[in-house]
Chain A
Amino acid sequence: MSNEATLYGHSEVVTTHDVHHDEHHGHHHKETFITKYVFSQDHKMIAKQFLLTGIIWAIIGGLFSVLFRLQLGYPDQTFPILEELLGKWAAGGKIQPEFYYALVTMHGTVLVFFVLTAGLSGTFANFLIPLQIGARDMASPFMNMLSYWFFFLASIIMVSSLFVQTGPASGGWTSYPPLSALGDASEGSKAGMDLWLVAMAMFVVSTLLGGLNYVSTILNMRTKGMSMTRLPLTIWALFFTAVLGILSFPVLFSGFILLLFDRHAGTSFYLSDIFLASTQKALPNEGGSAILYQHLFWFLGHPEVYIILLPAMGMASEILSTNSRKPIFGYMAMIASLFAITVLAFLVWAHHMFVTGLNPFLGSFFVLLTLLIAVPSAIKVFNWLTTIWRGNLRFTPGMLFALGFVSLFISGGLTGIFLGNSTLDIHLHDTYFVVAHFHIVMGVASFFGMFAGIYHWFPKMYGRYLNNTLAFIHFWITLVGAYLIFWPMHYEGLAGMPRRYLDFSGWASFNQFGGLNRFISIVTMIVFAVQLLFVFNFFYSMFKGRRVTSQNPWGSNTLEWTTQINPGHGNWEGEIPEVHRWAYDYGKDGRDFISQTEPVGADESKH
């Protein structure tokens, strides 16, 4: 035995042990219900846990929007049933102002963080990374499990904040001090705010544990032949998403720590010269800066929108190419533009702060950098359109949602050019124009990416298909509904209608929009009902859906379709396949598709 072998004998023993037992990979551990479904370390099960938790959160967060749209659409009517359900928060059948703020705050928090961060990248990073790069599991399956359970803990704390007597946090999803720092400032700044901060801290831990794993898995665990430039674009997108999260969430965390000290230890990092109307007292705090919090918050907050959007971009790229039966157009340009977006994401945060008193000279740099994001975004849109251009399109539900994503990304992206200008922002900030912009480009577009992913990979997750008829109803009503909800908001916003107001009926400038608001509210309810239809389809198909009978139902090139229909822990029976080509050989040399595992033939043309 060589010295080397003696020294490192331990790990070698493990390796040989594993080679011997390779053929049993799927089922060589005894699995109980607890280890298989609850404290699972299998990335596929963890992905499903993220997805199910995300779905529950999406229903809660969506329901909040229905409640406050009810108020906005029918400000002069009462709904006695609301009082029955919500008690004092809807006294007399009307949503109370405090509760209205709590609803918009929690709607934002839940959908941005719990659904579109954890639910979206938690699900698909976990599910797709090992399967598409050819790994048996994540670099650290244990950390991966912890990531989910920290998310679960964050969820429990956030849900419990809904039930405290003074109500959940209600200072907006951004939780700006001094409102969020002073318990006496509002009901929602009392216990609800503390629970919010603790839940978000747990959430940050979860995201970091997950993100570390995603990055180190992608960089270290790729199968033989899977060079970085052979990775599917989904993986590239999830990689940059994880990098964004790792670098930006800790900064948010520091902001929260300072906020917690301001709340409970008497420091004044964010507080200065405050007279509280509710207690008729001048506060002793001096020397703090509320804008400091905004810098720390938006240093995460802006990358956060790309954390939400990039996975959707990656999945749309993959699904559009697969269902157009054409290679993705401009693969390297797609990676470069993802990279450019990732870098720029860290350099534009102050465009959320143009009207906070930011130095206008400094603001002009942020305008420039913000508008620069239009370049990689335009490259991506161009490449998606050229990918489907003259393709042999198959309108599967996944494909429809991917197309919807591109449509929404274009319409929402264009209004970003308006908002990125600091001069226009003087008029547009805090209006419904902003609401419309970010809901379309980040909210609904990312939801479409997520739906595309769910419809496309559901057969891999559960071995069954989702029902197509329900899927088509879901798609068309959601797409049309999304435009009907948010398109009119641009118009209201240009007229100057401010966001976060409870009731416009007594406001002469804006009560002309009463009918429009009612229309938006009605569409919101219809769209919400259709999402419940999707949830029904999801759970019904999980148990009763049409079974998948072939390994590769979409005729796709990527590695996840070379596993069994219901892969066990370890993903591949026997050896992990070797990769010989990129993921996008569709329609090459007259062949419909060529899997990544197929060696390059001698007479094959170059792509």
Chain B
Amino acid sequence: MSRDIVMDQRKRIHPTKFTLWVAIGSIIMMFAGLTSAYIVKRSQPNWSTFEMPVIFWYSTGVILSSSLTIQMSLRAFKQRERVKYRTFITVTALLGMAFVIMQWIGFSQIWQSGVTFAGAGGGQFLYIIAGLHAFHVIGGIIALIIMFFNAFSTRFRNYNAVPVEVMSTYWHFVDALWIYLLVFFMLLQ
């Protein structure tokens, strides 16, 4: 109903896509706030560091390949290859879950090396910053699961590419965000 109302507006870029871009700006500000807090704290006495676990390299590889698969699912959707689309979206969701699990393993490795919540050094910041990032990935996974079920619904066929485009933009964003965070933690250890 209110969708109809929106749809008859004259429009340039689709409002939903635009809203996502603004939301991305907002999320960037949150991480900018946290990473600049990190920079400020780092220059103060009693700063402690942590060992970057190797599994973070693997998880980076996983999220990078998931970016590739979501791009392929978008292409498949636009070319109306439904089976391919379903496969790629499923793979993307699985890769996303693998990423979150690997992050979790990485956190527990750091935790076991003696870096707990006590203190205010790089490790504590990593838990919070990377943890928040993982929450954003989980949000994306939930959206992917909803799309997964929509894609298998026989009752309802949708050829509107906007949701898939929005999804892939968001997914590329959380991917890029993780790369930024990883480089940030590497450089500012």
Contacts and interface: CB of A to CB of B under 8 A. Distances in A.
A268 B33 contact: no
Interface of B: 1-13, 15-16, 18-19, 22-23, 25-27, 29-34, 37, 40-41, 44-48, 78, 80, 116-121, 124, 128, 132, 158-162
10 contacts: A7-B80, A17-B4, A19-B8, A136-B5, A136-B6, A208-B26, A212-B22, A246-B29, A250-B26, A253-B30
Nearest to A138: B6
A482 to B, nearest CB: 35
A351 to B, nearest CB: 18
A136 B15 CA distance: 14
Contacts of B120: 267-269, 271-272, 285-289
A84 B119 CA distance: 46
Nearest to A261: B128
A254 to B, nearest CB: 4
Contact of B11 (A42, A220, A261): A220
Question: Which one of A140, A267, A284 has the greatest number of beta carbons of chain B within 10 Å?
Answer: A267
A135 interface: yes
Q: Which 8 A-B pairs have the closest CB atoms?
A: A287-B46, A250-B30, A251-B33, A139-B15, A254-B33, A141-B2, A136-B5, A250-B29
Interface stretch (A291-299, A389-397, A456-464, A525-533): A291-299
Interface in A257-291: 257-258, 261, 265-269, 271-272, 284-289
Interface string A7-29: 11111001101110110010001
Contacts of B37: 254-255, 258, 269, 292, 295-296
Contacts of B118: 266-268, 284
Contacts of A255: 33, 37
A469 B35 CA distance: 55
Given A219-B18, A254-B34, A292-B40, A267 B26 contact: no
B41 A292 contact: yes
Contacts of A7: 78, 80, 159, 161
Interface of A: 6-11, 14-15, 17-19, 21-22, 25, 29, 41-42, 135-137, 139-143, 208, 211-213, 215-217, 219-221, 223-224, 246-251, 253-255, 257-258, 261, 265-269, 271-272, 284-289, 292, 295-296, 299, 569-570
A267 B123 CA distance: 10
A578 to B, nearest CB: 10
Given A10-B159, A10-B160, A261-B128, A41 B41 contact: no
Contacts, number: 169
Given A212-B22, A216-B15, A255-B37, 13 more contacts: A7-B78, A8-B161, A10-B160, A11-B162, A29-B1, A211-B26, A254-B31, A266-B116, A271-B120, A287-B44, A287-B45, A289-B40, A289-B44
Given A7-B159, A250-B27, A267-B124, A296 B22 contact: no
A289 B119 CA distance: 11
Nearest to A226: B10
Nearest to B32: A251
A220 B26 contact: no
A289 B37 CA distance: 10
A139 B16 contact: yes
A8 B4 CA distance: 16
Contacts of B5: 18, 25, 136-137, 141, 569-570
Nearest to B27: A250
Contact of A267 (B16, B119, B132, B158): B119
Contacts of B9: 135-136, 220-221
Nearest to A270: B120
A580 to B, nearest CB: 15
